[in-house]
Every structure is written in C-alpha cells, then in structure tokens.
Copies of this chain bind each other. A is one copy, B any other.
Amino acid sequence: MSILSVYLASSLFVVTLVWFLFGRKKGKLEKLLMCWWAFSGLTHLVLEGYFVFSPEFFKDNTSCYLAQVWKEYSKGDSRYAGRDSAVIAVEGITAVIEGPASLLAVYAIAKGKTYSYVLQLAISLGQLYGCLVYFITAFLEGDNFATSSFYYYSYYIGANGWWVLIPLLISYRCWNKICEAATNGVETKMKKKIR
C-alpha cells in the first residue's frame, strides 16, 4: 500500500508543480494537458525505464523503491516478473521514445509550438498501440497472469485503463485541431486565388 502512496504523492507533487509553475497565462485544459504529459512522461521514463533496464529487479533484496513497484505490479501481470519479450518491447519503446517525447509535449504546450498537436497525437497513438499489443498478447496467451481477480482489475485493467482512455481523448482532440488548421489553410489559399 505504501508503494502506491509514494507513487500517488510524487505524482501529485509533479502535477501541482506543473500547474502552478508552467501554467501561467494558459487555459485550464492546456494546464491539465501539461500536467498529464509531465506525469505520463516521468512514469514512462523513471518507472518503466527502470523496468526495461533492470532484468534482475525480481532478485533485488534491497528496499529499492522501483524494484518494489514492479514486484507489486507483477501481482497483476506476472509477465513482468517473467520478462516476457512483448512486454519488454512495448515498455522499451514507451520508456525510450514516448517518455522524453511526453516531456517535450509539456514544453511544446507551454511555448505554444506549432508542432504541439501533432506531437501529442503521435505520442497518444503510440500509447494506444502499446496498450493494444499489451492486452492482445495477454489475451492470446490465456489472460491468466494475475494472482487474483482483485489485482487483475486494479493493476492490470485499472492502472492501464488510464493510458487507453486519456490518449483516446487527446488523439480525438488533436486530430480535429490538425484538420481545422488544414481547412483554414485551404480556405486562405482559395481566398488568395480569388483576390
């Protein structure tokens, strides 16, 4: 239980920091998005990065917090303890590519960069693809990797569900924003021609 509290408390700390430090002059939705990308990026980099590059975490007898996290999470999906190659591949891509990219998204929103929407869309689609591979491979192998249905629903479904739901919403929004900009571009060109 204390493992989860540390994660939630440090996430709350990061979110609060981003909200008050970077969020000046920004709308509420943009502030929320910056908090999501900071939280998501640090989870990818720190937690998932540790998992990918620590093949021996299950043998770690020290009280290393990150090893404890994955020992605990493995109750919901034993493939983490068994170093399943599909899980490592997805976590590797998430940690190495999507982690830094998420932090870049915080910066892009803060500075109002033109690549902000397309970057957010790309990361969200990557997160969705990762979750699809993660869930489909488990399903194909019998969907029997949790120690109990409590851990199945709270860790395997509950923890990952956020990375399906929120990327879906963000992809939808960014897709529309990008198409709007394209429509405006076409209209501007046509107006120029008419003149």
Residues of A within 8 A of B (CB): 85-86, 88-90, 92-93, 114-115, 117-118, 121-122, 125-126, 129-130, 132-133, 136-137, 140-141, 175, 178-186, 188
Q: Which residue of B lies closest to A141 (CB)?
A: B85
Q: Which residue of B lies closest to A171 (CB)?
A: B122
Known interface pairs A118-B179, A184-B184; 4 further A-B residue pairs with C-beta atoms within 8 A, sorted by A's residue number: A93-B133, A114-B182, A178-B178, A181-B184
Q: Which residue of B lies closest to A135 (CB)?
A: B89
**Could you give 8 example pairs across A and B, Cβ below 8 Å?**
A86-B89, A93-B132, A114-B182, A118-B175, A118-B179, A121-B122, A181-B182, A184-B185
Most buried by B among A117, A137, A180, A181: A181
Chain B hits for A130, CB < 8 A: 129
User: Is B121's CB under 8 angstroms from A118's CB?
Assistant: yes
